[in-house]
Structure formats: structure tokens, C-alpha cells
Amino acid sequence: MMIKKISKERFKKLFDELKEEYNIAAPILKDKGKEKILEYDFINDFDQIVWDRQPDSSPKNIIFPQNSMLGNDYKGSKYYDDNLSTIIMGVRSCDIEAVKVFDQVFIEDDSYIDDSYKNRRDKTIIMGISCAEREDSCFCDSLGLDPIESDYAPVYIFKDEDEFFIKIKDEKYEDLFEDLPKGDQAQLKALKKQRKEEFNESSFSLDIPTPLPEKEMFEADIWEEMTEKCLGCGVCTYYCPTCYCFNFFWEGEDGESTKYKSWDSCMFSSYSVHASGHNPRDSKGKRYRNRIMHKFSYHPLNYEGLACVGCGRCIDRCPVNLDIREALKMTEEYLLEEGGDESGKD
């Protein structure tokens, strides 16, 4: 492990050195009509990076493009070169854990390896950033994650006013940072301790067994009530850093057609329609049940950890304010009243 400490000016210089060898993606403000949205994109200018708040969307679009012509990622991006590896700067613990979910499903599961994802991930270095304060809708720590530091990123940034500690945990990347001034380990430890103490506790607490018991929850009568106001727009899944469903479609005809891979959403009413026309998830409640069960039951049954990282983006972005924390509380209450204490709590 190597620790460095640099000023903002030195980081700017480092950025300019790195961009000669790497594509660099980071959270930047973008005009979206009346609003400015903080999103990850490929950039050329260090000063564009916004470090101090959680981005509105996750870096999912960098490791898993929303709509890609196969073999031609980010063709339209000025600052992306297909021959270079990519550094994603400023990724928070929740989003790093979400990358882990993608890696488990698309790389580590022997039953299916997604080559296009694997190739992109093999050429991606994640530089995490420690969270200094909680956003209103975040609840990662209620799910057992550490907002101060995630072990899953090989390089981690701790921003302290205008200075940056850089912790290089994977020696494979030490060369990139070798020339930077050394950082003091005790000073970094003190900063992390102070941050942990000052990080205000989440008002949300959850006491559910994981994996959620499939049979009890499948038959529960809470789902329709929970989703009365849902519009089925799929925004929650698009913003969710762990939702990875996708579809293929073709544009053009015959020899001229092009194959695209695009994000899909289990909240769309047509998502699970069979070729026969039968739809096993023919109501909003059944679709939302699948969303919750995937994250809190099916994923932990098959892999390590949950497939919700408590980033809160589905809460911030849902047009009808459907709050996953309320849905999880209803689940907790239902299990307390109806489900008994079966199914082995973690």
C-alpha cells in the first residue's frame, strides 16, 4: 500500500499527465433543461470535476453504456479513445459496491461471461472518493456499507479541503503515482476517524432477513398497496447503479442493420411478456415485488451481498416519490407480523 498527499494544483498536473495515457471519466455538471445534473462523462479538464456531492447518476454509463453499438463504445465522445484504458475518478462507496454487483454477474459467474463488459472492466481503473457527509436519501450504512472507504477500489481519494490523500491499495498502479509527495499514514487515519465521527447517522434502520424469504414474500399482500402510485416509467431502474437488465435491438434492414445493446427495465409492463402473450408480472405490485426480491433475495441467494447499495437515487428521481425505504419498512413490518422468524437472518 502507498499513501500520497497532494495539493489541488498538483492533482491538476497529475490529471494532465494521466490524460495522455488514459481516458478519464469523472462527475461533471451538465445542462439538462432547467436543471444542471451531475453525471459521469469523459473529460479533458480537471476543473470540471465536482468532488463534493454525490453525483445524480452513477458511473454505470461508463462501465455499461446505456445504448451501445456493439464494439463501438462511446463513439461520439470527444475525449474517449477506444485504444486507451479508462480511469473513473471520484466514485463513492455505494457506486463501487454496485460495480462489484456487475462484476459478480457479468464476469465472476461461470455460467455466463459478458465479453463486452469484461473487456471494458479489464481496461477500467476505479479511483474511489471518501464521502464527507450524507445526502438526505442515502442509506448505504444501514445496509452495512462503509461510506468512508470501500475495499473494492484499487485507488482511493480522501479530499480534505483543497488537499487530497491518495491511497494506492493495488501495487499494480503504484507506478502511476510514484512521483507524488508521500502522505502521512497517521494523518490519514486521523482524518478517517474524524470523518466517521462526524458522519451523521442515517435516520433509516432496517431489520429484515437477507436473503428475504422467497415463499412468504411472494405471497405477501403488501405489493399492490406499496405501488399504488407507481407509473411504471422505469426511471428508478435507469438511475439504479446495480440494475443491469439489457435488451438488444436492430436498426436498419438486412445487410445494413446495426445491433445495439440498451438498458431495459423490469418496471416496464411489457418486460416479462412471453411470446404467447401471457405476462406473469401483469401488475405494478408484481413488478415491484420482483425489483425488491431481486435486490434483497435472489441476488444474495446467488452471490455475496445485496443488489441494493442504498445510494438513494431511486428515491430522488421517482416522479411520484415512491420511497424504497418505506417499501422496505413495510416488508419488515409484514415479516414481523406474518412471516415469523423463519428463513435465517444474516
**Contacting positions for ligand SF4 (CB under 6 A):** 230-236, 239-242, 267, 295, 308-314, 318-320, 322, 324
Q: Cβ 226 to ligand SF4, closest distance in Å? A: 10
Taking the complex as a whole, the smallest distance from the CB of residue 265 to ligand SF4 amounts, in Å, to 7
Is 84 or 245 the residue whose CB approaches ligand SF4 more closely?
245
C-alpha distances (whole Å) from 59 to each of 42, 69, 295 are 11, 19, 19
> Which residue's entry shows cell 491499495?
169
- DSSP code per residue over 76-109: T-TT--TTSEEEEEEE-HHHHHHHHHHHIIIII-
By beta-carbon proximity to ligand SF4, the closer residue of 15 and 56 is 56
CB neighbour class for 89 (10 Å; exposed up to 12, middle 13-18, buried from 19): buried
Nearest residue (CB) to ligand SF4, 165 versus 239: 239
DSSP 177-200: HTTSPB--HHHHHHHHHHHHHHSP
- Least distance to ligand SF4 from the beta carbon of 32, Å? 17
Strand partners, 31: 36
Q: Which is nearer to ligand SF4, 190 or 320 (CB)?
A: 320
* Pairing between β-strand 85-91 and β-strand 22-32 as defined by DSSP bridges: parallel
CB of 237 to ligand SF4, least distance (A): 7
- Nearest CB to ligand SF4, comparing residues 43 and 230: 230
End-to-end CA distance of the chain: 32
Q: Compute the least distance from the CB of residue 84 to ligand SF4, in Å.
A: 29
For ligand SF4, the closer CB: 50 or 206: 206
Dihedral angle, C-alpha 57, 58, 63, 67, nearest 10 °: -20
Shortest distance, CB of residue 81 to ligand SF4, whole angstroms?
Answer: 31
Question: Helix H segments across the chain?
Answer: 8-21, 60-63, 93-103, 115-122, 174-177, 185-198, 214-219, 223-226, 235-239, 284-293, 299-302, 313-317, 324-334
Least separation in angstroms between residue 318's CB and ligand SF4 is 3
Nearer to ligand SF4, 29 or 233 (CB): 233
